[in-house]
Structure 1
Amino acid sequence: MSFLPPFTVFDVETTGLDPKRGHRIVEIAGVRIENGIIQAEMAFEAYVNPERLIPWEARQVNNIDDATVAGAKTIDQVLPQFLTFAEGSLLLAHNADFDMGFLRAEKEFCWGYVELPECLCTLHLSRSLFPQEFRHNLDVMALRCGLTLPTDRHRALPDVLLTAQAFLRMIEKGNIRSMDELRKRAALKTMVKN
């Protein structure tokens, strides 16, 4: 896997599903992959104060409540820290259209001073490698790759670590040998515009 550039695998937990409806990030986590090795000991993990109440439905998914994020930094402080952590790497997420949609919306709270790197998607990669399969959510993808699901799924850092492991396994299973091939299989349909 010497062809791989550095990646920052990331995930966000949110107050809802649509940033255009005012939903916000409540947690962001990332882990780097350097030279094909997951750097788990150097992970980024931060709660984010969404400056709004967390709906009951979101709390049921991610177990993050208002008290947990009340003293947390706001996105204008956390997002630049995360992007500093990710500097010099490509981003990677499962269902990256969702996560990048939130990053694009939240960067507006940073007065336009942040730029988002290119992002690849493990959901797209899974669909490309396993076109005969119907389901490609993170749990199914991980199990298909022979991984054990963590007990604390739907929290950002465990999801990131699971995504990183599945990503490396899919590169092996798919016999992917170049970044051009990886981009063809895992790129977002519309490239991220800063």
Structure 2
Amino acid sequence: MATDPNFVRHTYVVIDFETLTPAGRSPVPIEVAAMALVPKDGELVESWRFQALIRPPEEVPVTDFDARQTGITAAMLGSAAGPEHVMTALDAMMAAPPYRLVAHSAGTEATLIAHQAAHCPTLATTSLLDTVRMARVVYPELSSHALNAVLRHLRVPLPVDRHRAMPDVELTATVLRRILAENATTHRWTALHELDAAVGMPPKRLPNPRGAQEGLF
């Protein structure tokens, strides 16, 4: 991969959302984090990172279960900016294309981004690489390819704040780096187009993104 000019010219933005899951409606993002990785001398080197809490709609409460799951409380979100401001700020970080987004179970992140397409046009039109799919190819012997299971297999300790967005981004970046390091010797993929074909997905497009966003938020 390190010898593929197309792979080397891309920046790989690892992204993760934390959400609320109110009954009867789609997940509502309450935190986003991203880390940009650029190929350099055969490694992925961090170039920038972004993290922000996102204020949910007033009618969507933070339950005790939500707070236990993520460590994010209603008090923490009270002064947070709304998704329109946060996603605009994140999108502004992506000023030097081309990009690939990277996420563990990338379809979830793709859907959340699609609901915010009006505020993050670059994110919303960027293809993704799914580290779940990567792990299934590289570690077929595992019974689960959830992030915790892959990390256990790689003997990566879990941080105490697992399930906050930035720690999960850091863990996903670790998985990506480890898999690509193994690929350097196994040569499963020799070019970005092969990686796209095996573990990639296009950005999601909603039938009516603005209407869907208004219904969601």
TM-score range, shorter chain: 0.7 to 0.9
Task: Tell me, yes or no, if structure 1 residue 37 matches structure 2 residue 41.
Answer: no
Deviation at 1:11, TM superposition (A): 0.3
Q: Structure 1 residues 193 and 137, CA, compared in 2 at 3 Å: closer, same or farther?
A: closer
1:32 touches 1:43 (CA, 8 Å); kept in 2?
Answer: yes
Q: Which of 89, 110, 114 is residue 100 of structure 1 equivalent to?
A: 110
Deviation at 1:114, TM superposition (A): 2.3
Task: Tell me, yes or no, if structure 1 residue 192 matches structure 2 residue 197.
Answer: no
> For the residues of structure 2 that align with 1:118 and 1:83, how far apart are their CA atoms?
14
Task: Look up the SS of the partner of 2:170 in the other structure.
Answer: helix
2:15 touches 2:101 (CA, 8 Å); kept in 1?
Answer: yes
2:56 touches 2:82 (CA, 8 Å); kept in 1?
Answer: yes
> For the residues of structure 2 that align with 1:34 and 1:17, how far apart are their CA atoms?
37
Indicate the residue corresponding to 2:100 in structure 1: 90
1:30 touches 1:45 (CA, 8 Å); kept in 2?
Answer: yes
Task: Look up the SS of the partner of 1:107 in the other structure.
Answer: coil
Count of residue correspondences: 187
Q: Which of 91, 109, 127 is residue 118 of structure 1 equivalent to?
A: 127
Q: Which of 11, 14, 19 is residue 6 of structure 1 equivalent to?
A: 11
Post-superposition, which runs of at least 4 consecutive aligned residues in structure 1 deviate over 4 A? none
Task: Tell me, yes or no, if structure 1 residue 183 matches structure 2 residue 196.
Answer: yes
Counterpart residue identity of residue 49, structure 1: R
* Percent of residue pairs bearing the same amino acid type: 22
Deviation at 1:163, TM superposition (A): 0.5
Indicate the residue corresponding to 2:52 in structure 1: 46
Counterpart residue identity of residue 45, structure 2: I
1:49 touches 1:70 (CA, 8 Å); kept in 2?
Answer: yes
Greater Rg over alpha carbons, structure: 2
Which structure 1 residue ranges, 5 or more long, are not aligned?
none
> For the residues of structure 2 that align with 1:6 and 1:90, how far apart are their CA atoms?
6
Bigger mean CA deviation after superposition, 50-59 or 147-156: 50-59
1:31 touches 1:38 (CA, 8 Å); kept in 2?
Answer: no
Task: Tell me, yes or no, if structure 1 residue 160 matches structure 2 residue 164.
Answer: no
> For the residues of structure 2 that align with 1:104 and 1:124, how far apart are their CA atoms?
21
> For the residues of structure 1 that align with 2:136 and 2:27, how far apart are their CA atoms?
28
> Normalized against structure 1, the TM-score is what?
0.86
Which structure 2 residue ranges, 5 or more long, are not aligned?
206-217
CA RMSD of aligned residues (A): 2.2
Counterpart residue identity of residue 192, structure 1: P
